[in-house]
Structure 1
Amino acid sequence: MIKQWNRDHFGKVERRIADILLRIKIIDDAEESEQLNPLLLSERAILKCELEKVLIMEEIFWRQRSREIWLKVGDKNTGFFNIIAKVNKRKSRIKRLVIEGRVSDDVNEIKIAFHNHFSAKFVEGEEDRPFPARYRDCLLTPVDNEDLVKPFSELEVWQAIRQSNGSKASGPDGYSFEFYKKAWDIIKCDLLKAFDDFFLAGTLPQSTAHAFICLLPKRDPFETVSDFRPISLLGSLNKVITKVLFNRLLPHMNTLISDYQFTGKRGRVIHESCLIANEVIDSRRRSGKPGAVIKLDIEKAFDSISWKSILKSLTHLGLHSRFRKWLEGLLSSSRLSILVNGESTGFFGMTRGVKQGDPLSPFLFNIGMDILSFILCEIRKEGLITGFYINEESRIGEVTHLLYADDAILFCEANEAEVRNLLAALICFQAITGLQINLEKSRIFPVGEVANIERLVEIFCCDWAFLPTTYLGLPLGCQSPPTAHWNNIVAKTQSRLEGWKGKFLSPGGRIVLINAVLASQSNYISSLFLIPKNIINSLEKIERDFLWSGTREREKLHLVSWELCKTAKNRGGLGIRDLEINNRALLLKWHWRFATERGSWWREMIVAKFPNQQSEWFSGRSSGSLGGSLWARIVKLQPDFWKLTRIEHSQGFWTSF
């Protein structure tokens, strides 16, 4: 019904525009020969108001089809959205596929291949799985649990809806969060009744538990069914309920998730993991002791994790039985259907894996990955492995592993016994969770002189490489990112630009795109590394050319200086972000965080490596060369931070900055 309404009404927007323009033209032509009567004047005014509404509908229509969410200006850019929608449709269409060693372009055969592949992937056998006998027990208190299983209120349901992005693709029922926001007063009674039913039953009606699986290519060009990542499009009621449950869990995330996991913990950011990893490697190098860094590759992580291990973990963590029943009901009632070229291939059940796109999935996956963290901590306590120390001289701040979702990096001594112990720990982890470590894609990186590296990789059944490498998309184990890494950022920015069809954008739209996308391309690495001047010049040249011409195929005259373009709008400029200033501001932010985030793990590690007995407001400095320490380079910017900072003294305490 939703799709038919969209096709019959919203989808015919171009015809409505043409009809309105024709009627306005007829009235305008009549006005040239005689004075219009009040009735025609009123009709023309109404038509013009209607035209404005329909033009807005047209822009929304193409923006939703294009899936471009960055443009939030009142400028009409339907040409841009139209061409992006066509490009997206062409890129996502699967015309042929390698099936059982041969190329097939038969649409039905392709559908069957995807259906069979994913219906088998999400199914687990009946066998039971082992579980650690001494797992982390009863972390939640009775008060915590009462908060988790209290009756659902109208306010928390509305807050979950209001927090959600209304422009995201809808699931099988066709309703988006934008619909829920607009129709809240009409539907809230029925929706709250559905929540009451879920509170008692713990499961969803089968029709509302359906989800589409959208296929995103992992590489270009794609060849086989394994080259696609499944992203779930949940039914609207399912998504609202999971969002409410996620919000209830949010205050308890830091208790439930281990300190070594950097996703899901409140107040943590991805760069903290990269900072600590680089600092412990730098400390190890300075000590002169050999060591090994191991990057793990986990296969199909979200799709293959065992529900049994997740639910057993939650039981040990002390999660209320009713809340566990809700989670189990949401998992077991799920039915999936693969979308191939926009067409459903039929629904099937699932008995393992978590749905990417479900608000609860990251939390459930982290609970499973924490089993690895627990095993590694246990064997460290038994003296079977030794990590790297953030301060090797004082032997404080030991780090054996860091986790970010399914990205895992391990640190150990470069000897055969520890590598064997790690391999045994990973085999136990696989047996408990159902996750598989792809040893062929995993790597060992020697730190210092490791004479027996060939023997270590033989034991671990993987390959090895020299540092630096990348971790979470950032350089790891180097003094500063190599030239190739910076050039790659420039190339990626340029390649993204070529796909944006900038000639269809107005100048206002290009400015929005530059600030929202082009400038933010470098933000990720800018938050931890100082960008070289020549790279900033290259990135700004891309921005300049795009601003004035919309494409690199043709160059146009630059009407004003680039410095004026980077000036704030309230001072007569265009408000384009200055990359150099932005880079330094992001690095200076670490000083602010160091001064204010007392008790955070990353800060404790920095204090352990760079102690400062005189003040807690800033860390100590490196006594020798900077080496590979990122923090030592951030500290060099400390004078700039204090130039921009003022401390106010009040009632005997330093109270504010």
Structure 2
Amino acid sequence: MDAFSALLDDGGFKMISFDGYNLSHLLYADDVLVFGEASIDNCTNLSRILNTFANAIGLHVNFDNSSVMLPKNLKNQEAICQALSIHNISHKITYLGIHLSFYSLKVADFMPLMDSISKKLSGWNAHLFSFVGQLQFLKFTILNSIAYLICRSIIPKYVLKFFKRASSKFLLFGDLVSKNKIHMISYDRICKPKFCGDLGIPSLAALHFVFNCSVISIMYNRGSPLSSWLIHRYYSPWRPTPNYASKFWKVVCKTAIVAKPFFNFRITASAPISLHWDH
């Protein structure tokens, strides 16, 4: 795969390039994501690189399991697929458990996760649990199932409300079918820390907030493709949000404003500090 990376970087392939930031591909286990200009010449060049790699190493692309994602309103889609020998056009793919798409994700995209949570909660006779047992099951089984996705996707409000409603019914009533029962304590209230006198269940909003803070920390303290892209694209989370900003970045900026007093930066020679925007 090092040889494949060298072929992509040195073989004339037109990768994503923006203000000094370049990205040609990502590798993880047996998955390969290639990013480049959606032109016939560039796709023909990519096909040549893949053939060169296959003839030299003996690893061939499984085109039946491959797909291509194309920008909106691209007119020559069929020609691009022909140049790549890939005829499966996808508007959404799943990579490391995360949905990737040029379009906003809808509630239907999260239905498998919602069904999975419902089955996990309904599959137990929670009346046999003590309250502490229900709390531990909810805290370590259910939340661990959704925390990874919650922190890395823009999830519709309906889906978030479903998670809160299902968790509340399971914890307070022991099932998911209770419709007419009323509880006197808000679920958001019991998600507060134990030192505040509540149960300390991690709330979905808190998980998302912490992840946004970690993104800001990564920007300034780690050299990674993510940090390089965000700095080249947006400069600083405390800069006024530009019109071209993604929904993900707008959420990060809101978190940055709230958490601003708690960030401390170590200024080094290579630190990407913006004197105009960073505090």
TM-score under structure 1 length normalisation: 0.37
How far is the alpha carbon of 1:410 from its aligned partner? 0.9
What is the CA-CA distance between 1:423 and the residue it aligns to?
Answer: 2.2
- Equivalent position of 2:61 in the other structure: 437
Equivalent pair of 2:154/2:248 in contact (CA under 8 Å): no
Q: Is the contact between residue 479 and residue 630 of structure 1 (CA under 8 Å) also seen in structure 2?
A: no
- 1:482 pairs with 2:106: yes
Among 222, 233, 243, which residue is 1:624 paired with? 243
Query: Offset at 1:426?
Result: 2.3
Tell whether the 8 Å contact from 1:470 to 1:476 is kept in structure 2 after alignment.
yes
Check if 1:586 corresponds to 2:211: yes
Q: What letter matches 2:21 in structure 1?
A: G
Give the letter aligned to residue 248 of structure 2. L
Amino acid at match of 2:209: R
Instruction: Give the Å deviation of 1:555.
Output: 7.4
Q: 1:577 deviation in Å?
A: 1.8
Alignment of 1:138-177 (within 5 A): none
Q: 1:571 to 1:438 in 2, by over 3 A?
A: same
CA distance 1:448–1:536, shift in 2 (3 Å): closer
Amino acid at match of 1:581: A
Stretches of structure 2 that go unaligned for 5 or more consecutive residues are: 267-272, 274-278
Shift of residue 539, structure 1, vs aligned partner = 0.3
Give the distance between the partners of 1:476 and 1:648, measured in 2 at CA.
Answer: 32
3, 7, 10: which is aligned to 1:378?
10
1:576 matched to 2:206? The reply is no
Report the AA paired with residue 453 of structure 1. Answer: Q
Structure 1 position 402, deviation (Å)? 1.3
**Secondary structure at 2:70 match in 1:** strand
Q: CA-to-partner distance for each residue in 1:556-596, whole Å, 9 max, x for gaps?
A: 96765234432333333222222222222222221233233
1:640–1:564 distance in 2 versus 1, CA, 3 Å? closer
Cα RMSD of the aligned pairs, angstroms, is 3.3
The answer (yes or no) to whether the contact 1:536–1:580 under 8 Å persists in 2 is no
Match of 2:134 in 1: 510
Which deviations, in whole Å up to 9, do the C-alpha atoms of 1:458-485 show, x marking residues without a partner? 2322224353443333232446432222
Q: Which secondary structure does the structure 2 equivalent of 1:447 belong to?
A: coil
Q: 1:637 aligns to what?
A: 255
Structure in which a larger fraction of residues adopt strand: 1
Is the 8 Å Cα contact of residues 479 and 629 (structure 1) preserved in structure 2? no
Question: Which residue number corresponds to residue 538 of structure 1?
Answer: 162
Paired residues for 1:69-108 under 5 Å: none
Alignment of 1:127-138 (within 5 A): none
Q: Identity rate of aligned residues, in percent?
A: 20
1:465 aligned counterpart, secondary structure: coil
SS in 1 for 2:216: helix
Matches within 5 A, 1:260-299: none
Equivalent residue for 2:95, pick from 468, 471, 488: 471
SS of corresponding position for 1:567: coil
Rate the CA distance shift 1:595–1:464 in 2: closer, same or farther, 3 A.
same
8 Å CA contact 1:564–1:573 kept in 2: the answer is: yes
Q: CA deviation at 1:515?
A: 1.3
Does residue 1:414 correspond to 2:42, yes or no? no
Partner of 1:398: 22
Shift of 1:403: 1.5
TM-superposed deviation, 1:386: 0.1
DSSP 3-state at the match of 2:201: coil
Aligned to 1:324: none
Name the SS of the counterpart of 1:463 in structure 2. Answer: coil
In structure 2, distance between residues paired with 1:610 and 1:594: 11
Question: What's the counterpart of residue 270 of structure 2?
Answer: none
Gap change, CA 1:498 and 1:435, over 3 Å in 2: farther
1:388 paired residue number: 16
Of structures 1 and 2, the one with the larger relative CO (CA 8 A, separation 6+) is 1
Given that 2:110 and 2:159 are in contact with CA atoms closer than 8 Å, whether structure 1 keeps it comes out as yes
The whole-number CA distance in structure 2 between the counterparts of 1:500 and 1:434 is 50
2:276 corresponds to: none
Displacement, 1:530?
A: 4.4
C-alpha change, 1:502 and 1:446, in structure 2 (3 Å) is: same
Q: CA deviation at 1:632?
A: 4.1
Equivalent AA in structure 2 for residue 525 of structure 1: L
Q: Which amino acid in structure 2 is aligned with residue 641 of structure 1?
A: A
Distance in 1 (CA, whole Å) between partners of 2:207 and 2:241 is: 25
The 1:479/1:423 distance shift into structure 2, 3 A limit, reads: closer
Residue deviations 1:108-145, cap 9 Å, x none?
A: xxxxxxxxxxxxxxxxxxxxxxxxxxxxxxxxxxxxxx
Alpha-carbon separation, structure 1, partners of 2:39 and 2:149? 34
User: Matched residues in 2 for 1:427 and 1:496: separation?
Assistant: 46
SS of the counterpart of 1:440? helix
Local SS of the residue matching 2:68: strand
Q: SS of the residue aligned with 2:26?
A: strand
Distance change (3 Å), C-alpha of 1:567 and 1:406: same
Q: Match of 2:249, SS? A: helix
